[in-house]
Amino acid sequence: MKTILTLVSVLVSSLGIAQDFQGKAYYFSKTGMDMDFGRRQMSEEQKKAIADRMKSALERTFVLTFDKSVATYKEEAKLESTDGGGRWGAMLSGITSNNYYKNIKTAEYYDQREFYGKNFLIKDSLSSYNWILVNETKKIGNYMCFKATTTKKVSKIMDWRAMRRKARQQRNQREKSNVDKASTDASEMPNEIEVIAWYTPEIPVNHGPGAYWGLPGLILEVQEERTTLLCNKIVLNAKEKEKIKPPTKGKGVSQAEFDQITKKKIEEMIEQFSTQRRGGIGRGRRN
């Protein structure tokens, strides 16, 4: 541990950062997902159709634009799909930010999101991470990276297994049948998950993708359960500088307020999904 801290200190001191320093880091985000949805009778074609609809929300590319103290994290523009993914696509759009701005000096962030056709602008205080520096290194591109770990609380709002569990419980309650406790317990999520980050002191800024920050070097990779964020391109001190400023579009809310809005809508969708599926099963039994 002492070796890592010493090396990081030397690199940061020797490189320094000019007043007009600016960089861009490009990240690819990929999230694995259980496509069963608790429906054992779903065909492979149905699973593939759902996976294709969700692909745009689960595989995305972002650009982190940063200087010494502020950064924006935006999704790269892409062609819209013809159907937009339906109701689930509208819900999934709220999982990640359209434009995330963080200011390390003032310890605040602005997070612009679109959820069910409505724009929101979340403004709140930055969370601090209790990073543990690990004596492991690896190369990402041309940069030597060091490993760090932390834990973060799990949001139950966008927990797919929690959604499935709740829908199943509601359905079983209507049908007055017993909940399969074994499968319910297997779907339980922990309250916290481990996050693994790889950062490079060769770019001595405290930034990282999305809400991640606080390490003595730019974070180039994050592994968060089924989601991986990986940097595949870095541009430093380009001739044309970009003004880094917070987003302004959307209804202003705190993080807690936005969580309540999304929670209410998701619960409505689970209720509708549970009711519709029960109706479909009932029709199938009568035929």
Does the residue 184 lie in any domain? no
Does the residue 280 lie in any domain? no
Task: Look at the chain and report how many structural domains it folds into.
Answer: 1
Does the residue 276 lie in any domain? no
Cα(224)–Cα(153) distance, rounded to whole angstroms? 11
| pLDDT, tens only, 112-140 | 998 888 899 999 999 999 999 999 999 99
Question: pLDDT-based confidence at 239, cuts 50/70/90?
Answer: confident
**Interior/surface letters 273-287, b for 16+ CB within 10 angstroms, e for the rest:** bbeebbeeeeeeeee
Q: Nearest 5°: CA angle at 116, between 44 and 42?
A: 15
| pLDDT, tens only, 19-59 | 789 999 999 988 776 555 555 566 777 777 766 666 666 67
| pLDDT, tens only, 60-75 | 899 999 999 999 999 8
Does the residue 172 lie in any domain? no
- SS3 at position 27: strand
Instruction: Check residue 204 and give its pLDDT.
Output: 95
DSSP code string of 113-162: EEETTEEEEEEEEPPP---EEEEEEEEETTEEEEEEEEEEEPPSTT-HHH
Backbone φ and ψ for 219, nearest 5 degrees, come out as -80, 120
Does the residue 59 lie in any domain? yes
| pLDDT, tens only, 78-121 | 655 545 455 555 555 555 678 999 999 999 999 999 888 889 99
Cα(248)–Cα(111) distance, rounded to whole angstroms? 10
| pLDDT, tens only, 255-271 | 999 999 988 888 887 77
Does the residue 100 lie in any domain? yes
| CATH label of the domain that carries residue 218 | 2.50.20
For 210-248, give the secondary structure using H, E and C: CCCECCCCEEEEEEECCEEEEEEEEEECCCCCCCCCCCC
Does the residue 204 lie in any domain? yes
Does the residue 71 lie in any domain? yes
| pLDDT, tens only, 136-155 | 999 999 999 999 999 998 76
Domain that holds residue 240: 2-154+190-253
Instruction: Check residue 45 and give its pLDDT.
Output: 78
From 15-29, 160-174, 218-232, 239-253, the region with the lowest mean pLDDT: 160-174
174 compared with 287, residue with greater pLDDT: 174
Instruction: Check residue 184 and give its pLDDT.
Output: 44
| pLDDT, tens only, 159-218 | 545 555 555 555 566 555 544 444 444 445 568 899 999 999 999 999 999 999 999 999
Question: pLDDT-based confidence at 249, cuts 50/70/90?
Answer: very high
